[in-house]
Structure 1
Amino acid sequence: MSKQKIDKILFLASIILGVFVLYSCVMDRITAFCIRNCTNDTLYIELSESDTLDNWIYWSKYPKDTKRPIMPKDTTWIYIHREKVVIDNFFYAPPDSMVFASPYSFKNNDTCYIYAIKHWVVTHYSLEEIRTKKLYDRKTVIKKDFCNSLYEYRDVDSAEDHSLVSTKID
Structure 2
Amino acid sequence: MSKINLFVCISIVICSLSSCIPIGHTRVLAVFKNCTNDTVYIGASHYDNIDSVSEQVSPHYKFVANNGLDISNISLWEGTYFRSDNFIYPDSLCSIDADYLFHDTDTCYFFLIKWENAKGFSWDEIRTKKLFRRWIVTRDKEGRFDRHIRNLNTNKN
Aligned to 2:36: 39
Per the alignment, in what secondary structure is the counterpart of residue 94 of structure 1?
A: coil
Per the alignment, in what secondary structure is the counterpart of residue 89 of structure 1?
A: coil
Structure 2 runs not aligned, ≥5 long: 1-5, 55-70, 76-80
Q: How does 1:47-58 map to 2 (within 5 A)?
A: 47-54=44-51, 56=53
* CA apart distance, 1:102: 6.3
Structure 1 runs not aligned, ≥5 long: 58-75, 81-85, 158-170
Q: Distance in 1 between matches of 2:114 and 2:18?
A: 51
Q: Does 1:88 align with 2:106?
A: no
Q: Distance in 1 between matches of 2:82 and 2:124?
A: 15
- In the alignment, residue 128 of structure 2 is paired with which amino acid? T
- Aligned residue pairs total 125
The answer on whether the counterparts of 2:135 and 2:152 sit within 8 Å (CA) in structure 1 is: no
Q: Distance in 2 between matches of 1:132 and 1:125?
A: 11
Flag the 1:99–1:93 CA change in 2: closer, same or farther, 3 A.
farther
More helix by share: 1
Q: Does 1:143 align with 2:139?
A: yes
More strand by share: 1
Q: Distance in 2 between matches of 1:146 and 1:132?
A: 35
The answer on whether the counterparts of 1:77 and 1:87 sit within 8 Å (CA) in structure 2 is: no
Superposition RMSD in Å: 3.8
Q: How does 1:1-170 map to 2 (within 5 A)?
A: 1=6, 6=11, 8-14=13-19, 19=23, 32-54=29-51, 56=53, 76-78=71-73, 88-89=83-84, 91-95=86-90, 96-101=92-97, 103-144=99-140, 147=144, 151-156=147-152
Query: Structure 1 residues 100-109 or 121-130, which shifts more?
Result: 100-109
* CA apart distance, 1:46: 2.1
Query: Structure 1 residues 101-110 or 132-141, which shifts more?
Result: 101-110
Give 4+ residue runs of structure 1 displaced > 6 Å after superposition. Answer: none
- In the alignment, residue 89 of structure 2 is paired with which amino acid? P
The answer on whether the counterparts of 2:74 and 2:84 sit within 8 Å (CA) in structure 1 is: no
* CA apart distance, 1:132: 1.3
Per the alignment, in what secondary structure is the counterpart of residue 32 of structure 2?
A: strand
Flag the 1:132–1:141 CA change in 2: closer, same or farther, 3 A.
same
- In the alignment, residue 78 of structure 1 is paired with which amino acid? N
Flag the 1:7–1:110 CA change in 2: closer, same or farther, 3 A.
same
* CA apart distance, 1:124: 0.9
Q: Distance in 1 between matches of 2:13 and 2:42?
A: 47
Query: Which TM-score applies when normalising by structure 1?
Result: 0.55
